Structure 1
């Protein structure tokens, strides 16, 4: 049975779900947040230590301003209402990406990280304004600035995921089979599961089925 320490998820399909069932992309984002809460609970039940959620990419700024504003308002509301509950559950919040949002949202994100810093049950890495190519470029720039040798160990030290084990599983919902500039370095040997369901339709049972499949996969890491 393969050990499982870290699951990463590209939560794709909220907007399409909203248009299909509610005639509103924003309605899909709201329902998608409920799926996030369910998967967090199941992650804890499965005793998985790290959960990385791709919430907003560097490319998502191309979306309509109204939708972007709704997403950030939804995140602000979630942090205000839920951070104490997450803290009580011993959940740690870490932001990967560049905190380049409103002063209010930046402060909420910083406070969430500070408040939950010592928590141990589960670490949720929230990828916000995150792009893997930019992360790698910034890491190499820092290596050069600090006159460090360019090798795998040193690159890992300067990534935003420093100290976080690479994911064993990547799940992408929404019937789209690509990585979309997400954790390109960290996913080198990750088992990838593309799920046809849109994110709001993804359930705890779907999650458990993927974990079950992963546990029996023969992982060679270049060996035979």
Structure 2
């Protein structure tokens, strides 16, 4: 199932009425818990399988090229989950960095964090800092991971920064968003059948095409990603202009 509702042309990015592949894709990776529950497995196994899906997706970017990919990994609301689940998620994040950073760096991927990752434990922060520094010079694709991220808080921070500069305009706020150095968001995908944005990239998604799939995140394959890209390419983006 898919849905889209752009309202007006953005200041930059693909022009109105154009067709082609997206420059910037974002994904709400939903369904790890339900995947595990269906198989009578602990939630931790769902999260582990979800990390494998991330790994396969990043590897597939050689065949499905985009300029930027943003993944919703940990929201500000996720702190309300049980402590053991948060510990599992943090451990998986550390494991991913330790085991996949070499491959990511060699593939020319530039890592970026959207949100405030300083709230994680010292070991995690150190690993993230190292990963960001190591990939800072890469330019084939930007892989942004949303950690401790909430779109409403991001917009508030950006508005405050714009106000301090004495100019509260759409352009001024956009300059202070976490994604200001990335291409405009073209396509937002959500897995698992849920049809909502869950406080993710609310400002950036104003003109994005939305794509919803019933596939649970651990089962989301590069082929599913290709299907979403092909669906996007078949749309005519008018931004309400005609």
Task: Identify which of 220, 226, 230 aligns with 1:202.
Answer: 220
User: Corresponding residue for 2:12?
Assistant: none
CA contact (8 A) 1:42 1:204 kept: yes
CA contact (8 A) 2:70 2:145 kept: yes
Question: How many residues are treated as equivalent by the alignment?
Answer: 223
Give structure 1 regions of 4+ aligned residues with deviation exceeding 6 angstroms.
none
User: Corresponding residue for 1:55?
Assistant: 73
Given the alignment of the two structures, is residue 182 of structure 1 paired with residue 205 of structure 2, yes or no?
no
The 5-angstrom pairing of residues 95-114 of structure 1 reads: 95-99=113-117, 100-114=119-133
**For each residue in 1:77-130, what CA deviation from the matched residue of structure 2 results, as whole angstroms up to 9, or x when unmatched?**
110111111111111100010111000101111111111001011110000000
Give, in whole Å, the separation in 2 of the partners of 1:133 and 1:90: 32
Give, in whole Å, the separation in 2 of the partners of 1:7 and 1:44: 15
Larger RCO, structures 1/2 (Cα 8 Å, 6+ apart): 2
Given the alignment of the two structures, is residue 6 of structure 1 paired with residue 24 of structure 2, yes or no?
yes
**For each residue in 1:58-91, what CA deviation from the matched residue of structure 2 results, as whole angstroms up to 9, or x when unmatched?**
0010100000000000100110111111111111
CA contact (8 A) 1:19 1:25 kept: yes
Give, in whole Å, the separation in 2 of the partners of 1:84 and 1:22: 34
Return the TM-score normalized by structure 2: 0.89
Given the alignment of the two structures, is residue 71 of structure 1 paired with residue 89 of structure 2, yes or no?
yes
User: Corresponding residue for 1:41?
Assistant: 59
Q: Give the superposition deviation at 1:19.
A: 1.7
User: Corresponding residue for 2:43?
Assistant: 25
The 5-angstrom pairing of residues 120-199 of structure 1 reads: 120-145=139-164, 147-199=165-217
CA contact (8 A) 1:7 1:52 kept: yes
Give, in whole Å, the separation in 2 of the partners of 1:37 and 1:77: 12
CA contact (8 A) 2:21 2:229 kept: no
Q: Give the superposition deviation at 1:22.
A: 4.1
- SS state of the match for residue 61, structure 2? helix
- SS state of the match for residue 61, structure 1? helix
- Tell me whether 204-213 or 118-127 shows the greater mean CA deviation: 204-213
Give, in whole Å, the separation in 1 of the partners of 2:171 and 2:151: 17
